[in-house]
């Protein structure tokens, strides 16, 4: 039997990510998964050109999963970038 997290991730990858890619303002998205005893967490981190563009996208997108497996969803938080560094991956 497929887990609720697998159903949620499939829906996220099949439907939400394409909406994200078509939206105005997103720069990057990362989906993180953490397996714990008894449950799993899925965290989505997005980088936007503006907080307003992020809010508009989040308000217009349904993030629930099949069978209402998603038990807790936090409202989007807007953070100001304080520091960023990229690593050169060339060897």
Report the distance separating Cα 84 and Cα 52, nearest Å: 21
Spatial CA neighbour of 45 closest among 34, 56, 30: 30
pTM as predicted: 0.68
Looking up tokens 């965290």 gives 43
Higher-pLDDT residue of 60 and 24 is: 24
Higher-pLDDT residue of 69 and 30 is: 30
**Extents of the domains making up the chain:** 4-68
Quick one: pLDDT at residue 64?
57
Does residue 65 have a pLDDT over 80? Answer: no
Residue by residue, DSSP assigns 27-53 as EEEEEEEEEETTEEEEEEEEEES-HHH
**Average of per-residue pLDDT values in the chain:** 79
Q: Which two tokens stand for residue 43?
A: 């965290």
């Amino acid at each position: 039997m497929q887990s609720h997290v697998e159903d949620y991730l499939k829906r996220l990858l099949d439907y939400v990510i394409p909406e994200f890619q078509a939206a105005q303002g997103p720069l990057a998205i990362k989906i993180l998964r953490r397996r714990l005893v008894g449950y799993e967490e899925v965290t989505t981190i997005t980088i936007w050109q503006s907080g307003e563009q992020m809010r508009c996208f989040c308000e217009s997108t349904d993030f629930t999963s099949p069978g209402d497996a998603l038990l807790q969803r936090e409202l989007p938080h807007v953070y100001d970038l304080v520091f960023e560094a990229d690593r050169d991956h060339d060897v």
